[in-house]
Amino acid sequence: MKQLIRYSFLLLFISVCLNSFSEDTKKVTLAGYITDSENGESLPGATIIIKDLNIGTTSNSYGFYSISLGPGIYTVIYSFIGYADQSYSLDLTSDISKNVEMLTSSQQLNEVIVSDQAANANIKSAQMSVNKISSKTIQGIPALMGEVDLIKALQLLPGVKFVAEGSSGLSVRGGSPDQNLILLDEATVYNAGHLMGFFSVFNNDAVKSVELFKGDIPPNYGGRLASLIDIRMKDGNIKKFHGNGGIGLISSRLMLEGPIVKDKASFMIAGRRSYADVFLRLSPDENIRENILYFYDLNAKMNYNINDKNHLFISGYLGNDVFKNGNFGTKWGNSTATIRWNHIFQEKLFSNFTFIYSKFNYDLGIPEGNENAFNWGSTLTDYNAKADFTWFLNSNNRITFGLSTIYHNFYPGLIEGYGDESFITRYELPNNYALESGIYLGNEQKLGTQFILKYGVRLSIFNNVGPGTIFNYDADGNPLDSTFYESGDFFNTYVALEPRLGIVFLLNETSSIKASYSKNVQYIQQAQNSTAGSPFNIWFPASPNVKPQVSQQVALGYFKNFSDGMFETSLEGYYKSISNAVDFRDHAELILNKYLEGEVLSGSGWSYGAELMIKKTSGKLSGWASYTWSKAMRKIQGINSGDPYRAPYDRPNDISIVANYNLNEKISFGFTWVYATGQPVTFPVGRFEYNNTIIPVYTDRNSFRMLDYHRLDLSFTYRFNVDEDRKWKSDLNFSIYNVYNRKNPYLISFKSEVDNTSLTYAEMTYLFGILPSITYNFKF
């Protein structure tokens, strides 16, 4: 492994040196931003081709591109999927800044043939194990109770499994839900679920796109083993004022966007609120009427194009879930804020400076006036500063480098009684603090016409910082004594080198073979041993007692496009191994436990699989079909007698078919069918009697499976006023979840007959039978 790292550094060094020697001082640079002509949103991943030289580049995540050439007159073609190509003849005698506004294919009068270049971007990209979904695609997928949900759309991708029926948690290539780094405009979202996880916190109206990296994570990100889920909010329409919204069964939403100064500054604001409590108030029962139950979220963004060299983005998210009545109350939510400043030092060096604040907290309690009135609160706050640079060295090398540091503040729990009557004493879990930093360097290099390499390395450094109390434990996890560290004391440090390597071999214009290797290190994790988890599962850091988790993944894939890129197919295989995999002792107490680290067990994990995907990108019928075959195992001393056992998300066969059919401008249909092998579970094999109660006896962990899961969802959308030249446009969407009323087990319990406890039986609970819903959407 060390050799691999050394080799990658050497490669990088050689390439950079060679390039600087061969650098023609007379070269000029063509650079600029690529945006959507209609709303000014930046277009990341657009292709720029110099036709005469048959070289090209792509725009970065802010829509910026840069390419260096010898002086001359060139034909430059700008292209992006779903947009019409634009071709310019440019006389490059000195550095040129060229911003391009792309027109969607439908805005063009004539039928436009999307160029091969744009269509085959997936073939040539050095990145593998990645899936990108636009908010428009997500909108077309039939949704549970009509709530369009980005996370549930991701669950339909190959290699991704849902963690429980209806849950917005996901498992990527066998990993746990806490092994996914979920970023909303670069800010970590620690809990992505509303209503105990049945809906995700992301309002699709506010989202531009989501990109999922399955293990092969670019070196500018780190800190999670399984995936990066990079969600970008809309920048806000910089051309004209626009709004959309909807009224559904669960919630209503409204998004407004528009220019503050046309072509200079824009805003976007989106809100959503559920209204179950409104229905509760209609109940004849006073005790039900007094229940308050809702969630809301708010996304806001401002984007200011100061000049060609400076661009400022400010965005934020605030969301909460509230559930309370006279006896009990709980509230949880995330808030994030991101300030980003894009600065172009010179046409070749793009930089982005980011400051991020992210908080997840919950409160739970029994209200004042009760003898056991208490409040229990827990908070995790991050302050993060980042600097990222992209150096467009020449048309063959794009170098990225930068650094990031996060200051984590863990306030895992404080419980306090309040009111005169309360007998609850103050109980506090010790707060702790940590610094998580990373420095990275990477290059994407074209070697000749057939090879593209990407190689990079991330150096991650994790420090536990005082003040903090660390307990020492015996082999059974019982606390022995504790050590207190003073404020500012860097009392424990972990350092890791994380190489991220990839290679593409272009077989021809429409097919390629890719391979990758990546190592990821995870320093903070969630104390969760249930499959779906709840918002009350706290995050806790690596420490002298808990080693960081490490994963290594190798992947190999074949990519082939057909019919001018209308069909994209891919077949990927991967093997991933995890060391220091965290799991918990049997019957671990993970909530409100001072000695949580005593419950942690550490071992190894491995998973492997093959993912096949066929995607149709354009035409009346679009969508994808995917099949995944996979295994995920763990081996941890103290669990299952130290023998290997199936990971909770090991579901070997998994099929998703997602289709959207636009019959005409007015009518479209959505179709989703999913199938997955039953979830692994532990069932009782034996039993004994204690205190007139049948007690189960288990043998091997996760050795049984629930019934296989499958489900069909359909939707039908009818659009009004499509032909008319009216600003107000609307549609009605009818969705049916679980059309053929499959009884998919949510849980299986083992019970005794009431009148004869010796008689036992198994009972399955299923959550959602056939479930229709209707949503009214509008835009103006």
Site for another protein in 381-420 (CB under 8 A): 415
The one segment of 99-107, 445-453, 656-664, 755-763 that binds another protein by CB under 8 A: 755-763
Q: Does 619 bind another protein (CB under 8 A)?
A: no
Q: Does 531 bind another protein (CB under 8 A)?
A: yes
Classify residue 238 by its DSSP letter: S
Q: Does 767 bind another protein (CB under 8 A)?
A: yes
Among 190, 191, 137, 144, smallest CA distance to 165 is for 144
Q: Does 593 bind another protein (CB under 8 A)?
A: yes
Distance, first Cα to last Cα, the chain: 56
Select from 276, 337, 387, 461 the one that contacts another protein (CB under 8 A): 276
The one segment of 58-66, 70-78, 285-293, 616-624 that binds another protein by CB under 8 A: 285-293
Site for another protein in 331-370 (CB under 8 A): 364
Among 437, 564, 548, 569, smallest CA distance to 490 is for 437
Task: Characterize 164-173 residue by residue with b for buried, 16 or more Cβ atoms within 10 angstroms of its Cβ, and e for exposed.
Answer: bbbbbbbbbb
How many Å apart are CA 295 and CA 177, to the nearest integer? 22
Q: Does 758 bind another protein (CB under 8 A)?
A: yes
How many Å apart are CA 89 and CA 99, to the nearest integer? 14
Select from 405, 511, 529, 580 the one that contacts another protein (CB under 8 A): 529
Site for another protein in 54-113 (CB under 8 A): none
Task: Characterize 484-517 residue by residue with b for buried, 16 or more Cβ atoms within 10 angstroms of its Cβ, and e for exposed.
Answer: ebeeeeebbebebebbbbbbbebeeebbbebebb
Residue 587: CB minimum distance to another protein, A: 5
Select from 62, 536, 540, 559 the one that contacts another protein (CB under 8 A): 536
Among 465, 488, 428, 635, smallest CA distance to 544 is for 465
Q: Does 421 bind another protein (CB under 8 A)?
A: yes
Amino acid code (one letter) for 689: E
Q: Does 621 bind another protein (CB under 8 A)?
A: no
Q: Does 163 bind another protein (CB under 8 A)?
A: yes
How many Å apart are CA 494 and CA 226, to the nearest integer? 20
Residue closer to another protein (CB basis): 194 or 500: 194
Site for another protein in 116-145 (CB under 8 A): 145
Q: Which two tokens stand for residue 137?
A: 């695609």
Q: Which two tokens stand for residue 327?
A: 């006896």
Cβ 98 vs Cβ 65: under 8 Å: no
Give me the residues paired with residue 492 across strands: 464
How many Å apart are CA 456 and CA 444, to the nearest integer? 9
Select from 694, 714, 722, 736 the one that contacts another protein (CB under 8 A): 694
Residue closer to another protein (CB basis): 276 or 298: 276
Residue closer to another protein (CB basis): 155 or 237: 155
Select from 10, 689, 718, 728 the one that contacts another protein (CB under 8 A): 689
Rounded to 10 degrees, the C-alpha dihedral 747/649/230/409 comes to 80
Q: Which residues have CB under 8 Å from 775's CB, separation 6+?
A: 146, 246, 247, 248, 249, 732, 733, 735
Residue closer to another protein (CB basis): 63 or 333: 333
Query: Residues binding another protein: what is the number (CB under 8 A)?
Result: 88
Cβ 224 vs Cβ 230: under 8 Å: no
Q: Does 584 bind another protein (CB under 8 A)?
A: yes
Q: Does 740 bind another protein (CB under 8 A)?
A: no
Q: Does 261 bind another protein (CB under 8 A)?
A: no
Select from 664, 749, 754, 755 the one that contacts another protein (CB under 8 A): 749
Residue closer to another protein (CB basis): 572 or 583: 583
Select from 558, 661, 704, 778 the one that contacts another protein (CB under 8 A): 704
Give me the residues paired with residue 346 across strands: 349
Q: Does 283 bind another protein (CB under 8 A)?
A: no
Select from 75, 108, 653, 699 the one that contacts another protein (CB under 8 A): 699
Amino acid code (one letter) for 146: G
Strand order in the sheet with 72-79: 55-58, 47-50, 72-79, 86-92
Site for another protein in 483-522 (CB under 8 A): none
Q: Does 596 bind another protein (CB under 8 A)?
A: no
Residue closer to another protein (CB basis): 197 or 603: 197
How many Å apart are CA 300 and CA 640, to the nearest integer? 48
Residue closer to another protein (CB basis): 12 or 590: 590
Residue closer to another protein (CB basis): 122 or 744: 744
Residue 534: CB minimum distance to another protein, A: 5
Residue closer to another protein (CB basis): 53 or 747: 747
Select from 343, 351, 748, 778 the one that contacts another protein (CB under 8 A): 748
Classify residue 105 by its DSSP letter: G
Q: Does 443 bind another protein (CB under 8 A)?
A: no
Burial of 629 (0-12, 13-18, 19+ CB in 10 A): middle
Select from 590, 600, 613, 647 the one that contacts another protein (CB under 8 A): 590
Q: Beta strands of 105-159 (E only): which ranges?
A: 130-134
Classify residue 163 by its DSSP letter: S
